[in-house]
A and B are shown apart, each in its own frame.
Chain A
Amino acid sequence: MLRPHAEGAATVGAEGATVGEVFAELTARYPGLAGQLTDAGGGLHKFVNVYRNDDDIRYLEQLDTKVESGDVISILPAVAGG
């Protein structure tokens, strides 16, 4: 769903000690992702859900959530309507 902003890639590798650092690397590589992942205040965008493996990072430490080698970060836009 966000692939058009990442040159069509479904899965990309990135490094960082936290989810926020991983996002910084991704947005440096794919500038179109910038407004999709974080809001104007630098927090997690409210229409995006981010999981570290099976855990929603909103209930961990948000963008400060630690990541380790091999963790899978899933970025899911909100699927919603009326």
Chain B
Amino acid sequence: MSSRFAEPALRLSERQYQQIVAHCYDGLPDEACGLLGGPMRDGAPTGYVTRVYPCRNADASARTYTVDSRDLLHAMRDAEASGGELIGVWHSHTHTDAYPSDTDVRQAVDPAWVYVLVSLKDGEPVLRSYRIREGTIRETKVVVERR
């Protein structure tokens, strides 16, 4: 059966979900960002997240983000030391939807990565996950599980 969703589904624990959302609120009024670590299979992320790495937004901006390069270095080392790799990045949109902006698409760094957007524009946070490949955006499912 065909699905509107791309693979793989993003699988977060409840605690990881809460960590991501809390970091996004902590970053207000600026955008917040962080990285995801997890296992790979055949060179691609399985979607299962084992580590979340809240990072500093080097831009300190409400409109753009750049993951602080030292935070990126440390996250990469930790993910690799734990047998996985960095598999994606999340960032917040403070006043727009949880959908990749043109800038997000243009600057997408790795076609294998999962791109997670957290919108804080309404009372409740909205977290969605995407693949961005050659300028094409496809949503993936997000599974928040008890583990």
**A binding-site residues for B, Cβ under 8 Å:** 1, 8, 10, 49, 51, 54, 56, 74, 76-82
Which of B59, B73, B102 makes the CB contact (< 8 A) with A74?
B73
**Is B137's CB within 8 Å of the partner chain A?**
no
Do B109 and A79 have beta carbons less than 8 Å apart? yes
Q: List 11 A-B contacts (CB under 8 A).
A: A1-B110, A8-B43, A56-B69, A78-B66, A80-B59, A80-B65, A80-B66, A81-B100, A81-B101, A81-B103, A82-B64
With a cutoff of 8 Å between Cβ atoms, the chain B residues found around residue A81 in the complex are: 64-65, 91, 100-101, 103-104, 107-108
A1 vs B113: C-alpha distance when bound (angstroms) = 9
With a cutoff of 8 Å between Cβ atoms, the chain A residues found around residue B73 in the complex are: 49, 51, 54, 74, 76
A78 vs B103: C-alpha distance when bound (angstroms) = 13
With a cutoff of 8 Å between Cβ atoms, the chain A residues found around residue B110 in the complex are: 1, 77
A80 vs B101: C-alpha distance when bound (angstroms) = 12
Which of B65, B69, B80 makes the CB contact (< 8 A) with A76?
B69
Do A79 and B66 have beta carbons less than 8 Å apart? yes
Do B109 and A78 have beta carbons less than 8 Å apart? yes
The chain A residue sitting closest to B80, CB to CB, is A10
With a cutoff of 8 Å between Cβ atoms, the chain B residues found around residue A1 in the complex are: 86, 109-110
**Is B49's CB within 8 Å of the partner chain A?**
no
Q: Bin chain B's interface residue count.
A: 20 to 34
With a cutoff of 8 Å between Cβ atoms, the chain A residues found around residue B108 in the complex are: 81
A49 vs B67: C-alpha distance when bound (angstroms) = 11
0 or 1 for each of B77-91: is its CB under 8 Å from A? (1 = yes): 000100000100101
With a cutoff of 8 Å between Cβ atoms, the chain A residues found around residue B121 in the complex are: none
With a cutoff of 8 Å between Cβ atoms, the chain A residues found around residue B64 in the complex are: 80-82
What 10 A-B pairs have minimum CB-CB distances, sorted nearest first?
Answer: A82-B103, A49-B69, A81-B104, A80-B66, A79-B67, A82-B101, A82-B64, A1-B110, A77-B109, A81-B107
**Is B60's CB within 8 Å of the partner chain A?**
no
With a cutoff of 8 Å between Cβ atoms, the chain B residues found around residue A10 in the complex are: 80
Do A78 and B104 have beta carbons less than 8 Å apart? no
